[in-house]
């Protein structure tokens, strides 16, 4: 559903229909700065909402455990071929339900319980599934961690090598969820070779930048590439695992039957559509614009006195340390949300506060770039950010209310792809739909 009201859903379940309509309106009227989110195209949404959800397809194309795969086999094969072509890999598995199960499949493929994984620590920007203690990956496997340097906010590859040589992990993860800098895939690969570990590049956040040529590719360096499809890649919620021919069997066996049952065929179709969009020339411009916007946003915040982890950004993401502004991440994020600026509070490296009440805010530009915003709008957003964080400290709700109105003017000038408020009714603020 892409609009405020769809007839069958409204008739059957007006309560859920009404709530989805409210979410359409909310997405239209707010500025989404969460770096892991995006707006998929109407084409991707349409592929998601199809009868493909009715079909069971355990197995792989040509090797299924259910009949009636004449169409599904073709769809999955197209998705796989498009992933291989876009990223330049030998093999792609498009069945993982999401990024976390994709990563768990990698453990299953290469590790026995209790064996050792090296990943970036969660508070340093890593992901839960890279061996963090509260995750199954940190419970069932032995995990060791690397981080960033306090001075630079960047990973010191010599230190990663020292840890790897001392700990001899079987599996090494590079990539993360709050990493504003380029990931040095060749350096990780040389360490992994030295200690005879399997290297996984988790490109969940940056897959779209890599596909669009705005970040170096891990292909030729990592043994396995894990990615979600719903972040910068701008597809449906899902994931892919990619690798060379030598690891293909192990990966496929781990996903099915190792970890999952039937693939979500409606998602597979939508992934295929998103991969086609990502192979188009416009997507290269999109990826470059995401980075240009992030740099403009970082500059706008720095010039207003905000401390940025690592001093800026190379990609789509900016991590702000609010310590010097004398406000914590959570109250700032809540005030920003009241103003229509959607962010998430986040730990910063060496955070002295607790994870549920940390010092930072994480923002990013994939979604605002999908709406067609550019550097001028980024400076405008940085200005609002500054005003609202200041207002949150003094309890100045009038300023927050004023910014909320200004944000509405911006969102109505830049309609979000696939988000169509007011279709079939009188268009309100954001009448245009694309």
Ligand X SMILES: *Cc1c(COP(=O)(O)O)cnc(C)c1O
Catalytic positions: 56, 58, 202, 228, 231, 237
| Cβ distance to ligand X smaller for residue 216 or 383 | 216
Q: State yes or no: residue 205 binds ligand X (CB under 6 A).
A: yes
Q: State yes or no: residue 137 binds ligand X (CB under 6 A).
A: no
Q: How far is CA 279 from CA 212, 264, 283, in A?
A: 8, 23, 7
Q: State yes or no: residue 77 binds ligand X (CB under 6 A).
A: no
At closest approach, how far in Å is the CB of 70 from ligand X? 30
At closest approach, how far in Å is the CB of 235 from ligand X? 12
| Beta-sheet strands, E only, within 31-122 | 31-32, 59-60, 63-64, 91-93, 116-120
Pairing mode, if any, of strands 116-120 and 317-321? unpaired
* 3-state SS, residue 415: coil
Structure tokens belonging to residue 285:
């411009």
Q: State yes or no: residue 202 binds ligand X (CB under 6 A).
A: yes
| Cβ distance to ligand X smaller for residue 135 or 359 | 135
| Cβ-proximal residues to 316 (8 Å cutoff; 6+ apart), any chain | 35, 205, 206, 209, 232, 290, 291, 294, 364, 365, 366
Q: State yes or no: residue 181 binds ligand X (CB under 6 A).
A: no
| Cβ distance to ligand X smaller for residue 98 or 399 | 98
217 near 257, Cβ under 8 Å? no
Q: How far apart are CA 386 and CA 394, in angstroms?
A: 13
At closest approach, how far in Å is the CB of 127 from ligand X? 4
Q: State yes or no: residue 177 binds ligand X (CB under 6 A).
A: yes
Q: State yes or no: residue 260 binds ligand X (CB under 6 A).
A: no
183 near 175, Cβ under 8 Å? yes
Q: How many CA atoms lie within 13 A of 57 on its CB side?
A: 25
Q: State yes or no: residue 129 binds ligand X (CB under 6 A).
A: yes
Q: Which of 240, 251, 314, 241 is nearest to 274 (CA)?
A: 240
Q: State yes or no: residue 234 binds ligand X (CB under 6 A).
A: no
Structure tokens belonging to residue 407:
């944000």
| Cβ distance to ligand X smaller for residue 129 or 365 | 129
Q: State yes or no: residue 176 binds ligand X (CB under 6 A).
A: yes
Q: State yes or no: residue 69 binds ligand X (CB under 6 A).
A: no
| Cβ-proximal residues to 35 (8 Å cutoff; 6+ apart), any chain | 205, 231, 316, 317, 362, 363, 364, 365, 366
Q: State yes or no: residue 319 binds ligand X (CB under 6 A).
A: no
Q: Which of 118, 164, 171, 204 binds ligand X (CB under 6 A)?
A: 204
Q: Which of 59, 99, 218, 236 binds ligand X (CB under 6 A)?
A: 99
Q: How far apart are CA 398 and CA 418, in angstroms?
A: 32
| Cβ-proximal residues to 134 (8 Å cutoff; 6+ apart), any chain | 128
Q: State yes or no: residue 347 binds ligand X (CB under 6 A).
A: no
At closest approach, how far in Å is the CB of 243 from ligand X? 16
| Cβ distance to ligand X smaller for residue 319 or 400 | 319
**Which one of the spans 201-209, 244-252, 306-314, 378-386 is the region binding ligand X (CB under 6 A)?**
201-209
Q: Which of 82, 91, 127, 362 binds ligand X (CB under 6 A)?
A: 127
Q: How far apart are CA 162 and CA 193, in angstroms?
A: 14
Q: Which of 98, 323, 399, 412 binds ligand X (CB under 6 A)?
A: 98
Q: State yes or no: residue 36 binds ligand X (CB under 6 A).
A: yes
At closest approach, how far in Å is the CB of 237 from ligand X? 6
32 near 367, Cβ under 8 Å? yes
Rg (CA), the chain: 22
Q: Which of 48, 57, 100, 411 binds ligand X (CB under 6 A)?
A: 100
**Which one of the spans 99-107, 189-197, 263-271, 357-365 is the region binding ligand X (CB under 6 A)?**
99-107
Q: How many CA atoms lie within 13 A of 403 on its CB side?
A: 27
DSSP 264: -
Q: State yes or no: residue 175 binds ligand X (CB under 6 A).
A: yes
| Cβ distance to ligand X smaller for residue 14 or 355 | 355
**Residues forming the site for ligand X (CB under 6 A):** 36, 98-100, 103, 127, 129, 175-177, 202, 204-205, 228
């Amino acid at each position: 559903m892409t609009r405020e009201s769809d007839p069958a859903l409204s008739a059957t379940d007006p309560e859920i229909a009404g709530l989805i309509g409210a979410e359409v309106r909310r997405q239209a009227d707010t500025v989404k700065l969460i770096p892991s989110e995006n707006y998929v195209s109407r084409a991707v949404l349409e592929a998601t909402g199809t009868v493909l959800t009715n079909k069971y397809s355990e197995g792989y194309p040509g090797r299924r455990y259910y009949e009636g795969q004449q169409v599904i086999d073709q769809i999955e094969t197209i998705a796989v071929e498009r992933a291989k072509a876009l990223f330049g890999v030998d093999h792609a598995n498009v069945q993982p339900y999401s990024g976390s199960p994709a990563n768990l499949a990698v453990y299953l493929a290469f590790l026995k319980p209790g064996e050792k994984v090296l990943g970036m620590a969660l508070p340093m920007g890593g992901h839960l599934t890279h061996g963090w203690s509260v995750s199954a990956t940190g419970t069932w496997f032995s995990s060791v961690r690397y981080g960033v340097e306090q001075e630079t906010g960047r990973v010191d590859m010599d230190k990663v090598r020292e840890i790897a040589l001392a700990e001899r992990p079987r599996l090494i993860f590079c990539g993360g969820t709050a990493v504003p800098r380029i990931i040095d895939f060749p350096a990780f690969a040389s360490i992994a070779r030295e200690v005879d570990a399997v290297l996984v590049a988790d490109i969940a956040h940056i897959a779209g930048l890599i596909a669009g040529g705005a970040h170096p590719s891990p292909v030729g360096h990592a043994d396995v590439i894990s990615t979600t499809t719903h972040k910068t890649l701008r597809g449906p919620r899902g994931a892919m695992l990619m690798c060379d021919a030598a690891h293909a069997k192990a990966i496929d066996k781990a996903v099915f039957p190792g970890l999952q049952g039937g693939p979500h065929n409606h998602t597979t179709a939508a992934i295929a559509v998103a991969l086609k969009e990502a192979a188009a020339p416009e997507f290269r411009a999109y990826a470059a614009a995401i980075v240009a916007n992030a740099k403009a946003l970082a500059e706008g915040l720095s010039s207003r006195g905000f401390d940025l982890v690592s001093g800026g950004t190379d990609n789509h993401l900016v991590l702000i340390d609010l310590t010097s502004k004398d406000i914590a991440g959570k109250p700032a994020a809540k005030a920003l949300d009241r103003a229509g600026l959607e962010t998430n509070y986040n730990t910063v490296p060496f955070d002295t506060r607790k994870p549920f009440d940390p010092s930072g805010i994480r923002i990013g530009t994939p979604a605002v770039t999908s709406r067609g915003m550019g550097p001028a709008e980024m400076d405008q957003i940085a200005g609002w950010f500054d005003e609202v964080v200041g207002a949150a400290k003094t309890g100045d709700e009038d300023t927050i209310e004023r910014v909320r109105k200004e944000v509405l003017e911006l969102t109505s000038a830049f309609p979000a792809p696939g988000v169509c408020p007011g279709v079939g009714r009188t268009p309100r603020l954001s009448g245009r739909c694309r």
